[in-house]
Amino acid sequence: MPVITTIADLKRLHKRRTPKMFYDYCESGSWSEQTFRENTSDFDKIRFRQRIAVDMTNRTTASQMIGQDVAMPVALAPVGLTGMQCADGEIKAAKAAEKFGVPFTLSTMSICSIEDVAENTTKPFWFQVYTLKDDDFMQRLFDRAKAAKCSAIVITLDLQILGQRHKDLKNGLTAPPKFTIPTMLNLATKWTWGLQMLQTKRRFFGNIVGHAKEVSDPSSLASWSAEAFDHSLNWDRVAQLMKMWGGPVILKGILDVDDAKKAAELGADAIIVSNHGGRQLDGALSSIRMLEQIVDAVGDLVEVHFDSGIRSGQDVLKALALGAKGTYIGRAFVNGLGAMGEAGVTKALDVIHSELDLTMAFCGHRDIKSVDKNILLVPEDFSGRWA
């Protein structure tokens, strides 16, 4: 077993152990992948101020996200098809998050269903929904999430239409995989993945198949997805969905100050500054470049969370120092899951926690809640004048 010290180590194992179509599904962005690349490379432009002769004893990364206690302000982001990276992937990731004391967010497009995750965990998790047209289906999803004791809903606002990822088209991505010759040849090299998949019955979209009208089997799912998303979405509809749920709401996919103000006006409990990990509008600015101006505009009206591009605890610390009250990791935990299942997600969280904790100390702080922009050296034009 190789010694794992970084998320990059987990990513290498993920690539080795998971079928190409699912690894590529994770490790890709839309079109030219400029935004996907810059989400991570822009973090490198920010540096830390080294401080010395400060008390580093009794440190804590404990904090709160939307009033809920977290061991560190790092949640697992909603990731579709997680149960294809590794058998029962959502259950394994949720268990790792629960043991660590951080929130797990289940995607509507998960393989394991809301009920599967609830039955296999003991603490409330968060549930992510898209803005779909079918009110009956949305209401049933909310009811199921309530019955499963989900403590917040994440509404994703940056995916009415799907960004194009070239690799998914070239790989013919499906869940479960179709048995074409290239797929078979690739699967033949992924024995452990295949054996574990054979042992689970969870291989289809568990929240949709058998629940959405006219989707009784996986083959009818593609036509349902094409029809289901509400291309005419507007803020009134967002307010309507928030009312239908009636509990804590996090609005995800905000990358613009005007949109952040609108989301704050609706009374969301939090917003997530996010460009969907560079999977939607290629050519958009990286999330980290947009964070500070959004915090300046709405930070005293609504809790601001952040995702896209986090690959280390140092990245988490930079986002917190720029004003985020919470962060999410997507690919970083999926790399862990694809590498080593539940233990891999735990490893990803351990790596991030250790990097966060030590960097906080080197910067002269003992409590994550006291960290602010003073710990950073940010290039003058970082947020930029992009008129």
Ligand X SMILES: Cc1cc2nc3c(=O)[nH]c(=O)nc-3n(C[C@H](O)[C@H](O)[C@H](O)COP(=O)(O)O)c2cc1C
Q: What are the residues binding ligand X (CB under 6 A)?
A: 25-26, 39, 77-80, 107, 109, 128, 156, 252, 274, 276-277, 279, 307-310, 329-332
- Are 228 and 109 within 8 A, CB to CB? no
Nearest CB to ligand X, comparing residues 74 and 375: 74
Least separation in angstroms between residue 150's CB and ligand X is 15
CA distances from 170 to 28, 109, 258, 284 (A): 12, 21, 37, 24
- Concerning whether 353 is annotated as a catalytic residue, the answer is no
The helix-helix angle for 331-362 and 89-100 (nearest 10°) equals 20
Annotated binding residue at 330?
yes
Distance CA 14, CA 324 (A): 29
Of 7 and 295, which CB lies nearer to ligand X in the complex structure?
7
CB 33 to ligand X: min, Å: 12
- 3-state SS class at 127: strand
307 is an annotated ligand-binding site residue: yes
Consult the annotation and say whether 278 binds a ligand: no
Cα distance between residue 112 and residue 137, in whole Å:
18
- Is 80 annotated in a binding site? The answer is yes
| DSSP-derived 3-state class of residue 68 | strand
Q: Provide the residue count of the chain.
A: 387
CB of 129 to ligand X, least distance (A): 9
Cβ-based nearer residue to ligand X, 318 or 331? 331
Q: By beta-carbon distance, which residue lies closest to ligand X?
A: 330
Minimum CB distance to ligand X, residue 39 (Å): 6
Residue 331 annotated as part of some ligand binding site: yes
Nearer to ligand X, 107 or 359 (CB): 107
Tokens of 153: 């809903």
Q: Which is nearer to ligand X, 45 or 366 (CB)?
A: 45
Candidates 329, 293, 324, 294; CA nearest to 308 is: 329
Q: Is 261 annotated as a binding residue?
A: no
Within a 10 A sphere around the Cβ of 299, how many other Cβ atoms? 17
The one catalytic residue in 276, 305, 353, 365 is: 276
Beta-bridged to residue 306, according to DSSP, are 273, 327
Question: What is the rounded distance in angstroms from the CA atom of residue 351 to the CA atom of residue 338?
Answer: 16
Torsion of CA 177, 180, 183, 185, to 10 degrees: 140
- Smallest gap from Cβ 81 to ligand X, in A, equals 7
Active site residues: 276
Known binding residues for FMN are 78-80, 107, 128, 130, 156, 252, 274, 307-311, 330-331
Known binding residues for glyoxylate are 25, 165, 276, 279
Known binding residues are 25, 78-80, 107, 128, 130, 156, 165, 252, 274, 276, 279, 307-311, 330-331
